[in-house]
Amino acid sequence: MNDSENTQLKSNESWLAPRQRRAELSRYLDLLRSHWLVLVAFVAAGLVAAFAYTSVAPKTYTAQSNLLVTPVAEDDPNLIGLPLVRDTADPTADVLTVAQLVTSPDVSARVASQLGGNPNALVSNVSASPVTQSQIIAVQATASSAARATTLANAFARQTVQFRTNAMHAQLAKLIPSLEASMRKVSSGNRAGLQQQLAVLDTLRSSPDPTVSVSSPATPPSAPASPNRKTSLAAGAFGGLIVGLLAILALNALDPKLRDEDQLREIYALPLLAKIPKQRAGRTPLVSRELIPAVGEAFRTLRAAFTVRHAGSEDAPKRGSAILVTGDAAAAGKSTVALNLATSLTAAGKQVIVIEADLRRPSIGQALRVRAPRGVAEVLLGKAELAEALVWTPDHGPQLELLLGTTADAGEIDRISPESARQLVREAREMADFVVIDSPPMTEVTDALAFAEEADDVVLVARVGASQVRKMSDLGELLTRSRIVPAGVVLVGVSESGGYYYRAASDQRVFAGLLQRRSRNDQTLPAYPRSAEPGRVGAPENGAGRDGHGHIAVTNGATASEATSSSGTSVSSSSSESTPPEGESLN
């Protein structure tokens, strides 16, 4: 990119303007899809809670017996004076009257006399209600056992019928003698009507109430009414779903994370340079030998974006190109992207210098298992020259040179001037085709802002499920205020879509990489200074010395052979005392 193009781009601040937002329904559906595991977890928790409740909650059984109400004609002369249910214009009222009788104190006392116990306690477990649009009354009883519930329901239904029968018989005992006396006073020709009435009443004297009867007695229930396991499980799953939805919405409102590529495009109107598939790693950045094939191909795609641009630049014969890699947080995977972009450029035959500009939490040296006697802080403070501080490893050869980060205290960082950072980038560009700068997250520290201003290209790294939307916007505003327009975005942690083409050898590659990383936990690799050419043998002016941790640290002038032969050990990792950034995986 030439200066005129860069100036034109830096005057354009539209890259931070969000594009048209998706419809609310689509955004919510995407949010649910990205958090479906959380939703499943809440539903599962609701099911477990419901199952536990149904297992420990006391079980209750409900039995039901039915009473049938059969009113008699209101104008029947044979039944005049008897306490029977009469057919009226409102049949519901008649049925309701009988239903109220079921739970009356009179019936409760009769049931208590039959079964024993307190009448009020018994009636509290019984209910009677008319069945809609019918002459049936449902008498339901609840108890801790099926047999007890059945006994209660039948007892209240039968005692209701018996109570009405006793009332009818009591009235018959008064009515029949009265009719017999009246019949003796009338002539034989007028006795026919009274004789017919006496015959009907005499039949009723040995019969139950004809208007109320038990149509179907209660039978023992096969399952408890409460807790109902099916209903409880359904309620638990639904409750878990609702709580899960609310939790996802609350989490998204309080701490919104990047969900997918579409949301990324709503934040940055920038080209998507590469999509890096998921790959698990440890606490340090992944190195090239540990990458699965799909991830390696993604970094080759990223490399092509810069090699093509570099080849077409008018400045290509004069100087190298500086690429700064940064992100919104330490867990975005920026160090992995910077390191593997550099190694990919080296594989294409380019001379590359990696500058680890993170002075607080350097991690590249630890990932490569190397340590240098001088680092970025010494060069920026003028304590060492760039050429003296650069080192390389046998894994990548002198084509990939490293200016490793060394931990510096706050006082030293404050003494580093922005001009020294710009001068470092300019000097490195004269020595390599590409300079890749691993920057700290500038939303947390602004140490690397001078590097970003001097770099030819700035690459933003965002990670699905980890990058915070608010911090991504803050990073964009910070760069906009400095009139820096990034070259594009690298999206980390996307689902792998390579299919069998990449997955065929992926499992073996991952297994081998994990074994290699484990086997090298207690090992280190040699790091050679820039003056040590491959194969050079000879005694250095200053030999390799052992540092305070027992590792061999290469000093200025040490040769490659001396670095590897001294005590049979290698150089320790950079800044082993510091805590590496967490989450430098690609998932």
Tens digits of residue pLDDT in 59-118: 999 999 999 999 988 888 888 888 888 888 787 888 898 999 999 999 999 999 999 999
Tell me, what's the pLDDT at 4? 47
User: Radius of gyration of the chain from Cα atoms?
Assistant: 45
Report how far apart, in Å, the C-alpha atoms of 265 and of each of 259, 272, 440 are: 11, 9, 23
pLDDT one-digit tens code per residue, 151-204 = 999 999 999 999 999 999 998 888 888 887 877 777 766 677 777 878 888 888
Q: Taking all residues of the chain, what is their mean pLDDT, rounded to a whole number?
A: 78
Torsion of CA 239, 242, 243, 248, to 10 degrees: 160
Percent of the chain residues past pLDDT 70, beyond the cut: 76
Among 219-223, 276-280, 396-400, the least confident range? 276-280
Asked if residues 428 and 403 have their Cβ atoms less than 8 Å apart, the reply is yes
Tell me, what's the pLDDT at 332? 79
**CB burial readout 3-35, b (16+ within 10 A) else e:** eeeeeebeeeeebbeeeeeeeeeebeeebeebb
pLDDT one-digit tens code per residue, 508-544 = 444 445 445 444 454 555 566 766 655 433 333 433 3
Tell me, what's the pLDDT at 296? 87
Contacts of 355 (CB under 8 A, 6+ apart): 376, 403, 424, 425, 428, 435, 436, 437, 438, 451
Look up the CATH number of domain 3-17+269-523: 3.40.50.300
Asked if residues 461 and 433 have their Cβ atoms less than 8 Å apart, the reply is no
CA atoms within 13 A on the CB side of 225: 16
Asked if residues 97 and 137 have their Cβ atoms less than 8 Å apart, the reply is no
Among 29-43, 339-353, 373-387, the least confident range? 29-43
Asked if residues 295 and 356 have their Cβ atoms less than 8 Å apart, the reply is no
* Angle made by CA atoms 50, 53, 56, in degrees to the nearest 5: 150
The answer, yes or no, to whether the previous bond of 440 is cis (omega within 30 of 0) is: no
Q: For residue 35, what pLDDT band results from cuts at 50, 70 and 90?
A: confident
Considering the four listed CATH numbers 2.60.120, 3.40.190, 3.30.1890, 3.40.5, the one that applies to the domain covering 58-216 is: 3.30.1890
Q: For the chain, how many helices (H) and strands (E)? A: 22, 15
pLDDT at 120 over 50: yes
pLDDT at 300 over 80: yes
Q: What is the DSSP letter of 485?
A: -
Asked if residues 72 and 210 have their Cβ atoms less than 8 Å apart, the reply is yes
For 108-151, the DSSP string reads HHHHHHHH-S-HHHHHTTEEEEEPTTSSEEEEEEEESSHHHHHH
Residue recorded with tokens 């920057």: 439
pLDDT at 559 over 50: no
Tell me, what's the pLDDT at 62? 95
Nearest to 555 by CA among 384, 328, 417: 384
Domain ranges of the chain: 3-17+269-523, 58-216
352-356 and 400-403: which strand pairing? parallel
* 3-17+269-523 and 58-216 in the same fold: no
Phi, psi dihedral angles at 104 (to 5 degrees): -75, 160
Report how far apart, in Å, the C-alpha atoms of 324 and of each of 185, 458, 547 are: 127, 5, 31
Question: Which carries the bigger pLDDT value, residue 360 or residue 484?
Answer: 484
**Whole-angstrom Cα distance, residue 171 to residue 189?**
28
**Whole-angstrom Cα distance, residue 283 to residue 367?**
9
Among 39-53, 112-126, 319-333, 566-580, the least confident range? 566-580
* One-letter identity of residue 363: S
The pTM of the whole model exceeds 0.75 = no
